[in-house]
């Protein structure tokens, strides 16, 4: 964040992302050195994909993209809300998990081929609750179908002593291929590009540790009505994440010369600066922000700028297209019943996100992901 | 197991695998129905790969194979042993995790291209222990290099409230390609094939929940000397799992007409019956069994037959080859410094594993994995 002296909103919830960095860096360096092994197999990695949302290998005639992701703790909200509503909500949780994985994969321009699941529980009886299992499996299959991606199985495990007894850890992996002319990496992004966003449905799967902490302080916990929405806090948090891959495919199928795509997740709008290049992202219009974010910001006592540096604030996914193709892109999105909103444009650097409506800037060095 | 009335050894440790089945079946059915989505992408799944150790898609000119796996609770042993030895042992744990993933992938004949990691911790400070992180990352990178597989990054997460505060959940996913003439599925297996095995280094990553329970009853816990080995129980458990993929590649490169391959994991030697066909696996010779298994069997009060139905008992990986190619296969293995032992042969069904040296049989219906 630009305001380096202030406690990061995640820090309030006991997750100190800055502290992860030295170990993460160690892993990134060790991982990088393994790439040479591919030479003996006649293929090579796409080096610039390291630091992007998916890892890419050049097979010669096409690219192979893969990503491993996991949900986080959103399902712990479902566990609590089930006690209130009687519904497991694991159909939505499944879609969130699938979306977490596939929304990363599609940022590189990849079409998903298959998805494998990881479901680890703290106790055997987690898998014996057949109502919840039905919701989980139906939600997972439906999301796979919507993405035109085969669910190829996966691993279920019981980890006594590692996972909390009543909890489950949900994640998985996806593989896709990318046609040679459809690859999206930051290098295609350029000054002048228009920034289009696809709406978020709510908090998605990021910021849930903080949201869970906030629930403890709300007058009626997860049953507290969200002002401007009317439903309970827990139910609103559980709105499922949309799949953005079909939009990426619709734009590319529709002839849009897509320059880059970003899945707005952890770090909120700082993620707009994901590309390595030094570019300035000028935001002139803020999209409608779901009411949940006002409640979260108030409860966490963070100002609006910090809220944009933390949450998606209504922007689930960003597309960067040449300015003369904005209408072509919007039309392509409408072909599949989706809307894109132009919120700004890209300029020559330094790297930063300028939030004109808020008179604020998110500095480039506040996003350490490479 | 053949002795259906007896408590499964895993049941003793609070993991009731039989109870998982209805939910797993639900997931398998829902997953299966998603395969048709691939038609719109001009590819198709290899239907017979469902139920195998990796999922396979036919890309036309080659196959794509993928698997998601996770370690289980072996790292909880490392956490306890570190207090005794001062060593984190996470270099071995990393190799175990990579091996768990890649040893499944290679059973289909696939050469790995890349691996992505999932590391989920219960608290941020797990990633701040840089000695353990160095061991984990070095072990992970070295294992990737040995397998000639690029480590393409992955996901690190802190899951407060879902994962136990001091613990980590380790898993990941791998992707590989398989040349059209190298695909291994059960359909190539036939009566007359010889069964060759590659030695296990110890318990690998299966049966650890039981092994951890046993540690509680040993006189000096993880420091208890293992008869016949001399090292402490914890250290012996932590011997890293070998990578068997290089052996699969060596055999296929060496011109062996490999018919099938099995990674001997959960369910012990029952896994030899992994192929769908009704075939009888006649074992005439038992390989040397590491001393740890005698201690485990005695402590769990299971007889030798049940031990073979539970643990790998020294057989880490099985190869099925035409009888006239046994020496060719053994020579190919020696080219990379590995030994294969012929332990028996395949006959016409019914499906069962006949353990001649023990005068016992493991029945086909004791392995429910499809």
B8-31: pLDDT as tens digits: 455 555 556 565 578 888 999 999
The structure tokens listed for B113 are 């291209």
Considering only the beta carbons, identify the residue of A41, A150, A172 that sits closest to B34. Answer: A150
Average pLDDT per block of 10 residues along chain A, 370 residues long: 37 57 90 96 94 93 96 97 95 98 95 97 95 97 98 95 98 97 94 98 95 96 97 98 98 97 95 94 98 97 96 98 98 98 96 98 82
Residue B228: its pLDDT value, please?
Answer: 97
Residue A239: its pLDDT value, please?
Answer: 98
Residue A7: its pLDDT value, please?
Answer: 37
Residue A3: its pLDDT value, please?
Answer: 29
Whether chain B has a CB inside 8 Å of the CB on A301: the answer is no
Name the percent of chain B in helix, strand, coil, to the closest 5.
40, 25, 35
Residue A4: its pLDDT value, please?
Answer: 29
Considering only the beta carbons, identify the residue of B37, B118, B177 that sits closest to A171. Answer: B118
Q: Do B27 and A117 touch (CB under 8 A)?
A: yes
User: Residue B96 in contact with residue B74, Cβ under 8 Å?
Assistant: yes
**A103, A256, A259: which is closest to A187 by C-alpha?**
A259
pLDDT at residue B3 tops 50: no
Q: Do B175 and A73 touch (CB under 8 A)?
A: no
Q: Is the pTM of this model over 0.90?
A: yes
Whether chain B has a CB inside 8 Å of the CB on A52: the answer is no
**B127, B159, B118: which is closest to A72 by C-alpha?**
B159
Tell me which of A18, A62, A68, A265 to substitute to probe the interface with B (most B C-beta atoms closer than 10 Å).
A68
Whether chain A has a CB inside 8 Å of the CB on B139: the answer is no
Residue B251: its pLDDT value, please?
Answer: 98
Residue B175: its pLDDT value, please?
Answer: 98
Quick one: DSSP state of residue B367?
A: -
Q: Do A55 and B114 touch (CB under 8 A)?
A: yes
What residues in B contact A29, CB-CB < 8 Å? 137
In this structure, the dihedral spanned by the alpha carbons of residues B224, B230, B236 and B242, taken in order and rounded to 10 degrees, is -170
User: Residue A187 in contact with residue A260, Cβ under 8 Å?
Assistant: no
Task: Give CA–CA dist A370/A276, Å, rounded.
Answer: 9
Q: Do A172 and B173 touch (CB under 8 A)?
A: yes
Whether chain B has a CB inside 8 Å of the CB on A144: the answer is yes
Q: Do B140 and A27 touch (CB under 8 A)?
A: yes
What residues in A contact B156, CB-CB < 8 Å? 20, 23-24, 27
Task: Give CA–CA dist B121/B127, Å, rounded.
Answer: 8
Whether chain B has a CB inside 8 Å of the CB on A19: the answer is yes
Task: Give CA–CA dist B84/B225, Å, rounded.
Answer: 13
Distance of CA B239 to the CA centre of its chain: 14
Residue B19: its pLDDT value, please?
Answer: 57
User: Residue B358 in contact with residue B305, Cβ under 8 Å?
Assistant: yes
Task: Centre a 10 Å sphere on the Cβ of residue B26 and count the other Cβ atoms it contains.
Answer: 17
Q: Do A72 and B167 touch (CB under 8 A)?
A: no
How far is the CA of A366 from the CAs of A5, A6, A309, B32, in angstroms? 12, 12, 9, 44
Residues B183-202: pLDDT tens digits?
999 999 999 999 999 999 99
Residue A16: its pLDDT value, please?
Answer: 62
pLDDT at residue B366 tops 90: no
Give the pLDDT mean for B318-332: 98
Residue A11: its pLDDT value, please?
Answer: 55
What residues in A contact B153, CB-CB < 8 Å? 28, 31, 50, 55
Q: Do A162 and B167 touch (CB under 8 A)?
A: yes
Whether chain A has a CB inside 8 Å of the CB on B10: the answer is no
Task: Give CA–CA dist A267/B230, Å, rounded.
Answer: 51
How far is the CA of A72 from the CAs of A69, A163, A169, A326, in angstroms? 9, 13, 8, 34
Residues B142-173: pLDDT tens digits?
999 999 999 999 999 999 999 999 999 999 99
């Amino acid at each position: 964040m630009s305001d380096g002296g202030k406690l990061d909103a995640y820090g309030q919830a006991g997750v100190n992302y800055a502290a992860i960095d030295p170990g993460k860096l160690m892993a990134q360096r060790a991982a990088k050195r393994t790439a040479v092994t591919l030479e003996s197999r006649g293929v090579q990695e796409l080096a610039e994909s390291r630091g992007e949302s998916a890892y890419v290998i050049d097979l010669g005639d096409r690219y192979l993209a893969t990503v491993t992701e996991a949900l986080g703790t959103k399902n712990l909200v479902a566990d609590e809300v089930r006690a209130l509503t009687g519904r497991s909500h694991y159909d939505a949780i499944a879609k969130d998990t699938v979306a977490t994985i596939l929304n990363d994969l599609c940022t590189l321009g990849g079409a998903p081929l298959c998805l494998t699941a990881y479901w680890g529980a703290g106790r055997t009886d987690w898998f014996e609750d057949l109502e919840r299992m039905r919701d989980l499996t139906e939600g997972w299959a439906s999301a796979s179908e919507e993405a035109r991606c085969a669910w190829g199985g996966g691993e279920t495990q019981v980890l006594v002593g590692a996972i909390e007894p009543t909890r489950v850890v949900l994640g998985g992996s996806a593989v896709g291929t990318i046609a040679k002319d459809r690859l999206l990496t930051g290098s295609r992004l350029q000054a002048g590009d228009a920034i289009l966003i696809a709406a978020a449905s709510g908090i998605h799967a990021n910021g849930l540790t903080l949201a869970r902490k906030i629930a403890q302080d709300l007058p009626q916990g997860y049953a507290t009505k969200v002002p401007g929405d009317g439903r309970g806090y827990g139910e609103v948090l559980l709105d499922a994440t949309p799949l953005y891959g079909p939009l990426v495919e619709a734009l590319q199928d529709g002839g849009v010369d897509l320059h880059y795509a970003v899945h707005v997740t952890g770090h909120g709008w700082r993620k707009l600066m994901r590309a390595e290049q030094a570019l300035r992202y000028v935001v002139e219009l803020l999209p409608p922000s779901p009411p949940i974010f006002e409640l979260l910001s108030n409860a966490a006592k963070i100002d609006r700028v910090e809220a944009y540096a933390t949450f998606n604030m209504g922007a689930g996914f960003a597309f960067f297209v040449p300015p003369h193709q904005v209408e072509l892109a919007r039309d392509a999105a409408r072909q599949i019943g989706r809307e894109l909103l132009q919120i700004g444009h890209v300029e020559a650097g330094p790297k930063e996100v300028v939030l004109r409506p808020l008179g604020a800037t998110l500095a480039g060095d506040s996003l350490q992901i490479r």
